[in-house]
Amino acid sequence: MVKDHVLAGVRAAIIDLDGTMLDTVPDFHVAINGMRAELDLAPISADAIKLMVGKGSENLIRTVLALDFDDAGVEQRFEQAMEGYQRHYLAINGQFSTLYPEVEAGLAAMQAAGLRLACVTNKPIAFALPLLKLKNLDQYFEIVYGGDSLPQKKPHPMPLLQVCADFDLPPSKVVAIGDSSNDAQAARAAACPVLTVPYGYNHGHSIHDTDSDGIVKTLLEAARFIGMQN
């Protein structure tokens, strides 16, 4: 359930990308194993990768390399691995990822209700923008910030506070919606209300253990709750 009155007066929403709008683990799987093959490393499973995503590309690649190397070995290979990963990812970006249920219906309902929408992701902006366009989601967002758009990324509150400033709205009127503790921590630090979805990638932890103002099954259900309190 969503806490009473927490969404009252909400006029905008900040929505996460990976694990919230799109299941992108299949894209990560192809790109990471392409990179690993270039380093003569064995492929790893999609389930393993699912536990690693969400904290930005640098963290992802270091975590992947740490499966095979100590800290010094990771740093020695990091630049080569990062270049390979980015090359493979850009070549297949969006080809294997799929929309979660009711994402587009939810975005359309929020837009129809007059909410202003921003996408804030820890994915590099060069990956995020083409992906949104390929999936026809770019039309819903006034603002898109990637993990490298600003000096700090989630769970730091900076990207959320930047959206609030862009929209000229206090954080109390801007709800964040995501699938992980990154989103919830950023929202709490920014003083934004926050809703979480029960699917997606939360670093192997139950979303029920995350401090949010409520769990919504889909973005369409989020739109309905926002509508009910406004």
Q: Which residue ranges make up the annotated binding site for Mg(2+)?
A: 16, 18, 179
Quickly count: other Cβ atoms within 10 Å of residue 82's Cβ.
17
Cα–Cα–Cα angle for 209, 226, 156, nearest 5°?
Answer: 50
C-alpha closest to that of 155 among 221, 30, 28, 59: 59
Cα–Cα distance, 48 to 39 (Å, whole number) = 18
Residues 6+ apart with CB under 8 A from 54: 18, 19, 122, 180, 182, 201, 202, 203
Could you give the 3-state DSSP secondary structure of residue 123? coil
Residues identified as active-site: 16
| DSSP at 100 | P
